[in-house]
């Protein structure tokens, strides 16, 4: 800010404060209350030194308290009283001035009308023109305010219109996009329906060996709705043969041609190019390896055996039979299912499950002279001796 601007602002502030009658009243009361000091500041004897003048003012101030001497309370009271009086008088003076002005104006017009008619007519015409101009200025001001309001309202309407237009364009674009998506879905549904009308599941069963359940409707519904089936207990809601890798056998018809396929547990069956195809998963690959081990177990342990198990110096004998599916029979009664988890030249690890699927024990065996020797997880030493039929 420039120095001249600062000076101008200070002068303006003082001018505004000096016009306030309260400030004038306060200044007047303070000067009257402290007239001795105020008078002395401007009327010291020229022969007095600066120190003598200071001593004079100091002695004068010593005889009064600050508040009493400066008239602080009295100044406030007088300023309040004088302020009210000045405001009342100023209001009356303004009213009297207006009345006096009207009286003088009428008197002047009356005298002009009586003494100088032409001058009076000229004055009257001038006054009428002036009144019309004042009225016209009021109307122009009113119309300008109305015009500003109309322009403001018009701007708001334009803004709302632009926002509405933008919203309509966005919604039209969204509707168009949804229409395209809907049309694409309808085409896909139509194509899928046509393909489904050409496809029909005739029969499906899930299980292993002699333990199967029919799942025709489930397989048909999954292929119709999803286009694929995951061969698993979860999708079919049942485990017909615990501890075994199940398989799904499907017989179906496409374009009046009958076909069939078999998939192991964990495989995925998909409808591709008017036929069903099987694809493997990590679980099904692991299951295939398990089936290979089960086949090795069947080739190794199928037949009759004498089992001796020893613990704490006590020996027990048991005669058993293992069939080609790894089923464990004791005295002709199916007691356990054998599941191979590891099969190599060094050892065989077998999980022995009860028929409910509960794990009974884990046996670790090695092959020696047509016998299987090892231990189990319950702490028994095991000796499997093959019984050779004569």
Band of residue 122 on the pLDDT scale cut at 50, 70, 90: low
371 or 26, which is more confident: 371
Instruction: Decide if 297 is inside a domain.
Output: yes
Mean pLDDT across the stretch 41-58? 70
Instruction: Decide if 263 is inside a domain.
Output: no
Residue 66 scores a pLDDT above 50 = no
Report the C-alpha gap between 100 and 109 in whole angstroms. 14
Instruction: Decide if 78 is inside a domain.
Output: no
Give the structural domain span for 329: 290-386
State residue 42's pLDDT score.
Answer: 61
Q: Which of 55-69, 81-95, 173-187, 352-366 has the highest mean pLDDT?
A: 352-366
State residue 374's pLDDT score.
Answer: 92
Mean pLDDT across the stretch 72-81? 65
State residue 71's pLDDT score.
Answer: 56
Band of residue 91 on the pLDDT scale cut at 50, 70, 90: low
pTM over the 0.75 mark:
no
% of the chain at pLDDT higher than 90: 4
State residue 204's pLDDT score.
Answer: 85
State residue 380's pLDDT score.
Answer: 92
State residue 69's pLDDT score.
Answer: 46
State residue 375's pLDDT score.
Answer: 92
Mean pLDDT across the stretch 101-126? 58
Please report, for the domain that includes residue 366, its CATH number.
2.40.128.120
10 or 377, which is more confident: 377
Residue 65 scores a pLDDT above 70 = no
| Low-confidence winner among 179-188, 195-204, 270-279 (lowest mean pLDDT) | 195-204
State residue 362's pLDDT score.
Answer: 92
Instruction: Decide if 215 is inside a domain.
Output: no
Instruction: Decide if 323 is inside a domain.
Output: yes
Residue 390 scores a pLDDT above 60 = no
Instruction: Decide if 376 is inside a domain.
Output: yes
Residue 225 scores a pLDDT above 70 = yes
Q: Which residues pair with 263 in a beta bridge?
A: 248
Mean pLDDT across the stretch 187-199? 62
Give the chain's mean pLDDT. 76
Mean pLDDT across the stretch 119-148? 79
Instruction: Decide if 298 is inside a domain.
Output: yes
Report the C-alpha gap between 105 and 109 in whole angstroms. 6
| Low-confidence winner among 34-38, 45-49, 202-206, 322-326 (lowest mean pLDDT) | 34-38
Instruction: Decide if 175 is inside a domain.
Output: no
Query: How many domains is the chain built from?
Result: 1
249 or 126, which is more confident: 249
């Amino acid at each position: 800010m420039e120095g001249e601007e600062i000076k101008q602002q200070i002068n303006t502030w003082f001018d505004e404060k000096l016009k306030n009658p309260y400030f004038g009243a306060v200044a007047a009361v303070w000067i009257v209350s402290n007239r001795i000091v105020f008078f002395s500041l401007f009327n010291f004897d020229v022969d007095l030194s600066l120190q003598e003048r200071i001593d004079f003012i100091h002695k004068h101030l010593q005889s009064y308290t600050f508040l009493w001497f400066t008239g602080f309370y009295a100044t406030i009271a007088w300023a309040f009283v004088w302020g009210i009086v000045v405001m009342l008088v100023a209001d009356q003076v303004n009213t009297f001035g207006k009345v006096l002005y009207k009286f003088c104006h009428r008197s002047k017009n009356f005298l002009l009308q009586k003494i100088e008619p032409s001058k009076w007519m000229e004055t009257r015409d001038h006054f009428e023109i002036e009144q019309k101009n004042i009225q016209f200025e009021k109307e122009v001001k009113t119309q300008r305010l109305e015009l500003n309001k109309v322009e403001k309202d018009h701007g708001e309407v334009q803004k709302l219109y632009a926002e509405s237009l933008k919203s309509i364009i966005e919604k039209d674009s969204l509707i168009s996009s949804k229409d395209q998506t809907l049309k694409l879905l309808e085409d896909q549904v139509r194509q899928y329906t046509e393909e489904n009308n050409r496809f029909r599941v005739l029969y499906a069963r899930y299980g292993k060996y002699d333990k199967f359940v029919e799942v025709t409707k489930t397989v048909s519904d999954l292929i119709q709705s999803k286009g694929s089936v995951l061969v698993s207990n979860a999708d079919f809601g049942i485990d017909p043969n615990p501890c075994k890798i199940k398989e799904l056998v499907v017989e179906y018809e496409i374009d009046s041609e009958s076909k069939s396929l078999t998939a192991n547990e964990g495989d995925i069956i998909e409808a591709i190019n008017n036929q069903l195809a099987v694809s493997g998963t990590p679980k099904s690959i692991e299951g295939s390896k398990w089936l290979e081990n089960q086949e090795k177990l069947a080739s190794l342990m199928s037949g009759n055996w004498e089992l001796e198990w020893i613990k704490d110096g006590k020996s027990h004998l048991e005669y058993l039979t293992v069939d080609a599916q790894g089923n464990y029979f004791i005295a002709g009664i199916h007691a356990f299912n054998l599941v191979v988890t590891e099969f190599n030249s060094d050892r065989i690890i077998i999980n022995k499950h009860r028929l409910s699927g509960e794990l009974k024990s884990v046996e670790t065996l090695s092959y020696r002279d047509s016998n299987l020797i090892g231990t189990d997880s319950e702490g028994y030493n095991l000796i499997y001796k093959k019984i050779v039929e004569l």
